[in-house]
Structure 1
Amino acid sequence: MNAKDFCLIFLVIAIWGVNFLFMRIALNEVPPMVLGMLRFLCVIFPAVLFFKRPAVPWHLLALYGLTISFGQFGLMFTALDLGLPTGLAALMLQTQVFFTVLIAGVLLREPVLANHLWGMFTAAAGLALIGIGHYQGTLPFSALLPVFGAAASWACGNIVVKRIGNVNALSLVIWGSFSALLAFTAVSFALYGFGGVRQHLANLSWQGISGILFLAYAASLIGYSGWGALLSRHPAGKITPFALLVPVVALLAGYVVLDERLGIWHWLGIITVVCGLLLHIFGRRLIPEYSKTK
């Protein structure tokens, strides 16, 4: 992986690390399905006027939008709306890394090396430590299933990206958002009706609008186009573990911006996640005798 791709990875991670703060800001003003509708409306327009549809079959574009956009964010927004803390949401969503690597190993026959497994196990231990530090005894059980569903949906979307191959990543995000927009819109009007949706839109403040714009233009257009470009050039097992840094960035951003104090469990978890990532990337050089393809 070259220096340009490394820089792109860390740009995406930085954007996604603060993404959950903007989700919370927007969800304070609109319900989950309406937020999804507005997010992907902004993703599509006006960008669709300037980018041609990628050379991808319509069914794969639709599947991309329904997995990596509608499924992931519909469930994630729901989990946050049910009271799941943003830092813990960022943490739990990263189980997509393990889903992706395992699904890619089974369906795409991508190699799963020993250092990949050890790196994932180590990072999982780090995530568990962060979870211990973040858990305050009031975690709503009803929010757990949606966030794990969001992680599984993201993992399925990663596999769809691999199936699509090397196309213009920004065009893929834009045109692949049509199915997500249609799904969010249909569910929004089914839940609230035309009058209810209109009332939610009328109540938006500049804070809510800023949250929606960040989610659309930074997290989606920049974040997912960069992520898609990386997945198209590298094995999923090599790229997706970097997403384990998202909850680390989210916790650190909360510490710096919101003055949220980090306890010893958080710091131990952060260090363990970083060690797991280093093992995943450099473990083959350190322990080559254990790195044969399974």
Structure 2
Amino acid sequence: MLVGLICVAWAGNFLTSKLALAELPPLLFTALRLGVLAIALVGFLERPPAGQWPRLIAVALCNGVLHFGLSFWSLKLSTTIASPAIVMQSYVPMATLLAWWLLGERFHWRTGAAIALSFAGVLVLGFDPTVLQNPAALSLMLVSALFLGLGTVLLRGLKGMGPVSQQGWAALIGVGPLLAWSALAEPGGLEIARHASGVAWFGVAYAALVASLVGHGIYYVLMQRHPVAQVTPYLLATPLIATVLGIVVMDDRVGPRLWLGGAMVLGGVLVIGLRNLAKSRQPPPASEL
């Protein structure tokens, strides 16, 4: 039930954000989201342990600024909700490759085949007519997923901080760079925000309070109770629910290449998740018993 709530909260974020981005520039929208989240969590911030500031700042820039900023930019340019929601999941194989490159982690050939399947799915999805109308949206989401994958790897080395404090610091650190980036790339954005409708501001509030505070809050609770690999495969329902919401509410047209490419991407991600789950359930070596 809790995983279902997460998936619904995150899938709804694609829809409400898409509606808000019809009025607000994407970088400013991201800055407003993080600003609301920072205000909500400022009372829960813990001082990071000595030596953790550089990694915390790097995680905040990768996940909060570059991932969110580019993903909302992609969502604004995309003609559907489905393609960015699906392509975002490619951060899982990217994180696996980055962990191999940066941390020396090894993976089985089946995981390697799943990674190849996911990236092949992105290529197939990229030739869907709705995606070809604005290929920049796909490129931006791929770069966004790369930064999320890098931030995920860096997050593993962040010690001595609770998940709520991590989320609060990431929001607080990310607001300034995003506002500066928006001022350079989106002149007049603040004036647009002043005249934005209630729909746009509802999208900002939903992204900060429902998707981040509630969705990620429940996610962190589950991470404390269960192995990561046991939870993450179920989260693949998020892009599927987002796709259905796009079809029902936004009248998105999803072609066969997008369905096929999406199935390849999500299938590869699912195999990686199941392989990680199998690894987490392996008994320890006899020397550790």
State if a TM-score over 0.5 links the two structures: yes
Give the partner amino acid of 2:136. Answer: S
Distance 1:221 1:231 in 2: 15
Give the partner amino acid of 2:144. Answer: A
Alpha-carbon contact 1:76-1:147 (below 8 Å) kept:
yes
Distance 2:116 2:226 in 1: 22
**Structure 1 unaligned regions, length at least 5:** 1-6, 287-294
2:23 corresponds to 1:29: yes
Q: Which residue of 1 aligns with 2:196?
A: 204
1:30 counterpart SS class: coil
Among 101, 109, 124, the residue aligned to 1:106: 101
Among 151, 158, 183, the residue aligned to 2:177: 183
Q: How many residues align?
A: 277
Distance 1:28 1:281 in 2: 34
Q: Which residue of 2 aligns with 1:249?
A: 241
Deviation of 1:245 after TM superposition, in Å, equals 4.5
Q: Which residue of 2 aligns with 1:42?
A: 36
Give the partner amino acid of 1:152. Answer: L
Deviation of 1:249 after TM superposition, in Å, equals 2.6
Among 135, 139, 144, the residue aligned to 2:133: 139
Among 174, 180, 186, the residue aligned to 2:168: 174
**Structure 2 unaligned regions, length at least 5:** 279-289
2:71 corresponds to 1:79: no
Give the partner amino acid of 2:94. Answer: F
2:63 corresponds to 1:68: yes
2:15 counterpart SS class: helix
Per-residue displacement from partner, 1:162-201 (whole Å, max 9, x unpaired)?
Answer: 11147311111111212210101222334566xx344222
The farther-off stretch of 178-187 and 135-144 is 135-144
Deviation of 1:52 after TM superposition, in Å, equals 3.1
Give the partner amino acid of 1:118. Answer: A
Deviation of 1:60 after TM superposition, in Å, equals 2.2
Q: Which residue of 2 aligns with 1:15?
A: 9
Distance 1:258 1:49 in 2: 38
Give the partner amino acid of 2:97. Answer: L
Among 146, 151, 156, the residue aligned to 1:157: 151
Give the partner amino acid of 1:119. Answer: A
Per-residue displacement from partner, 1:84-133 (whole Å, max 9, x unpaired)?
Answer: 5322112222221121011112222333123322333444455555555x
2:157 counterpart SS class: helix
TM-score with structure 2 setting the length: 0.78
Across the aligned residues of Structure 1 and Structure 2, the Cα RMSD in angstroms comes to 3.5
Q: Which residue of 1 aligns with 2:91?
A: 96
Alpha-carbon contact 1:123-1:273 (below 8 Å) kept:
yes
TM-score with structure 1 setting the length: 0.76
The farther-off stretch of 180-189 and 197-206 is 197-206
Alpha-carbon contact 2:111-2:272 (below 8 Å) kept:
yes
Q: Which residue of 2 aligns with 1:291?
A: none
